Structure 1
Amino acid sequence: MLNLRQSRYTVRIASERHDIESAQRLRYTVFVGGTGAQDTEDGLDVDDFDALCHHVLIEDRKSGQLVCCFRFLDLQDGAEIGKSYSAQYYDLDALASYKGRMVEMGRFCVHPDWKDADILRIAWGAMTKYVDDNGVDMLFGCSSFKGTDWAVHADALAMLKHRHLGPKGLIPHIKAPDVFKFAARLRRKPNAKRAALAMPPLLKTYLMMGGWVSDDAVVDRDLGTMHVFTSVEISAIPPARKRLLRSVAG
């Protein structure tokens, strides 16, 4: 998928059942293990969307260990957005008329024992190559904060309110029963340093590319997270950021 001969990692799309199970096992470790939520005997995080998605695996070249994975769902245009994982939680009718090709990126996780920042860079390089090769116009998904206590993430959520809310005509309405309406409830001015430290790496990357978020956060008590709908149009990515991503994509 990427030419990474100078890297310690390899990137590929899962092609066998055991590849997908490896991704599901890593997802379980990151999202479920130790939380008591949705414990399963087989130690796999599985849902119905797995069968619809492509699964990207980033592995250590020497040991073969899976260090990162994510999945993506390719949609021809907004008319198909009701098929997405995000549509369970958000009313996405405002995007249903979008005419460009869309990709939903989700279940992104990095093995907790691997702290190499290069992993995130390579993951985005892989997604960039797919976007360029297939004429994708918009990326979207759910970006998660760990934990369900909004106060822990107050500065980050306040920063989203002040700088990164989506266009009024595109922001989705919430369908989920448990939400925190941070745009309406937070009056504080965000502390920029605390906000940056609390911002999840995946969400931070979306925002650096010119992405935007919903005005409410869905509380997912099954996975012990809070997530915001996140979107970025490829045409809105700053030229310097595009060059950086494409330098990885090769």
Structure 2
Amino acid sequence: MVYDPTQVKTSQGAAQPDVIRVAPRGFTNMLRPSNWGTATANALLPFRTPAPADAGGLPTILGRIGSLEVRLARTRKEIKQAQRLRFRVFYEEMSALPNATSMLSRRDIDEYDAICDHLLVLDYDVPKKAFRTPRPQVVGTYRLLRQDVADRHWGFYTAGEFDIQPLIDTNPGKRFLELGRSCVLKPYRNKRTVELLWHGIWTYVLHHRIDVMLGCASLEGTNPDQMALQLSFLHHFARAPENWRAHALAGRGVAMDRLPKEAVDPKAALHALPPLVKGYLRLGAFIGEGAVIDHQFGTTDVLVVLPVEAINPRYIDHFGPAANRHAA
């Protein structure tokens, strides 16, 4: 869900930014048109794409670095480009199993696309073709779902794995934002792209006066015993305080405290964690109670909760209190 913009390594062979990989829910039901509501059908059918959300007063361009630009999707065509990028990363590069609709359309699609904002990083330095106007390429994306929008529809996607309602109820008046479906094209997994994604998110957070970000982060593999060190470290050293804690859904969760605290080597655990999770911890995020095994994506998911008030001040200084570091 979140990368550490100052820690991403770009040298050959170094660790690359991780991606959020969230499995579409209701895999079997999605294959039955009789079970599609209007919004779901519009989002799933290959020839139907949700309209881009109203920017709501946000600047047209949220930031620039060189030939790269970050902004919200403006057209249906741009949302399709983001879905194709997600398909390429999740299903072709990674090991996720697409449903029939995604396989036919070559796009990663689910019903939430219709109600989310789609943050894009575009590269304008594209090869010129004869008699054709060059079009920028979508090279990175994030899907953003505000609480007020989720409440008007069918809730947060994260609620399919974690019981987040008590967390919301414990923090009345707080505005929550769910981050998900994040990925970056492989040649662009570097500091510039990641910085722009987070510059865009920070601008969005400030504009909509968001108080809390949340979402799932994945560890590779479905055997929690093989990641006992990482899970135990997150449980003992990064678990959310009670007022920010949410639990895995009953029947889906597995225990994270697989080793006693004294048996955990923090340095070794941090080294073994995905860059995605390490970036979150550096930002000041907390980890929920219990993990969820996602067999479709071959991952074990943990809940990440990041109150804006808990963000490490150096990151706020890095992007600017008014998100003006990379302003266009």
**Shorter-normalised TM range:** 0.7 to 0.9
The alignment partner of 2:194 has SS state of helix
**CA distance, structure 2, for counterparts of residue 206 and residue 81 of structure 1:** 28
Q: 1:203 to 1:80 in 2, by over 3 A?
A: farther
Indicate the SS of the match to 1:248: coil
Q: Which has the higher strand share?
A: 1
1:130 Cα offset (Å) = 0.9
Q: Which residue of 2 aligns with 1:35?
A: 95
Letter of the structure 1 residue corresponding to residue 70 of structure 2: V
**Percent of aligned pairs sharing the same letter:** 29
Of 275, 296, 305 in structure 2, the residue corresponding to residue 222 of structure 1 is: 296
- 2:325 counterpart of 1:248: yes
2:239 to 165, 174, 186: 165
Do the aligned partners of 1:148 and 1:226 also contact (CA within 8 Å) in 2?
Answer: yes
Cα 1:193–1:80 change in 2 (3 A) is farther
Name the TM-score, length of structure 1 as normaliser: 0.87
Q: Which residue of 2 aligns with 1:57?
A: 120
Matched, 1:91 2:91: no
CA contact (8 A) 2:73 2:79 kept: yes
Structure 2: distance between partners of 1:157 and 1:118: 30
Instruction: Give a deviation string over 1:6-61, Cα, whole Å, max 9, x none.
Output: 42311121122221121111212222226261251222111111111000111222
1:36–1:244 Cα change, 3 Å: closer
Structure 1, 186-195 or 35-44: larger mean CA deviation: 186-195
- With 126-135 and 190-199 compared, the bigger mean Cα shift is at 190-199
CA shift in 2, pair 1:235/1:51, >3 Å: same
Unpaired runs of 5+ residues, structure 2, are 1-60, 127-135
| Alpha-carbon distance in 2 for matches of 1:95, 1:193 | 30
Q: Report the Cα offset of residue 79 of structure 1.
A: 7.0
**Contact map agreement 2:69 2:196 (CA 8 A) in 1:** no
| Alpha-carbon offset, residue 74 of structure 1 | 0.9
Q: 2:217 aligns to what?
A: 143
Q: C-alpha distance in 1, partners of 2:317/2:150?
A: 27
Divergent runs of 4+, >4 A? 77-82
> Is the partner of 2:179 in helix, strand or coil?
strand
Shift of 1:145: 2.0
Is the contact made by 1:140 and 1:229 (CA closer than 8 Å) also made in structure 2? yes
Matches within 5 A, 1:79-228: 83-97=155-169, 98=171, 99-175=173-249, 177-183=251-257, 185-187=258-260, 189-228=263-302
The yes-or-no answer on 1:24 pairing with 2:24 is no
Note if 1:3 corresponds to 2:63. Answer: yes
Q: Deviations over 1:150-192 (max 9, x none)?
A: 3453333222122210112432222264433113x23363344
Q: Relative CO higher for 1 or 2, CA cutoff 8 Å, sep ≥ 6?
A: 2
Question: 1:80 deviation in Å?
Answer: 7.3
Deviations 1:52-110 (A, max 9, x none): 10001112220233221110001149977970001111112322322111111111111
> Which is worse superposed, 233-242 or 194-203?
194-203
**Of 300, 308, 327, the match for 1:234:** 308
- Which ranges in structure 1 are unaligned for 5 or more consecutive residues? none
1:14 paired with 2:82, answer no
State the partner residue of 1:69. 141
SS at match of 1:41: helix
Pairwise CA RMSD: 2.5
Residues 229, 53 of structure 1: alpha-carbon distance in 2 compared, 3 angstrom cutoff: same
TM-score by length of 2: 0.68
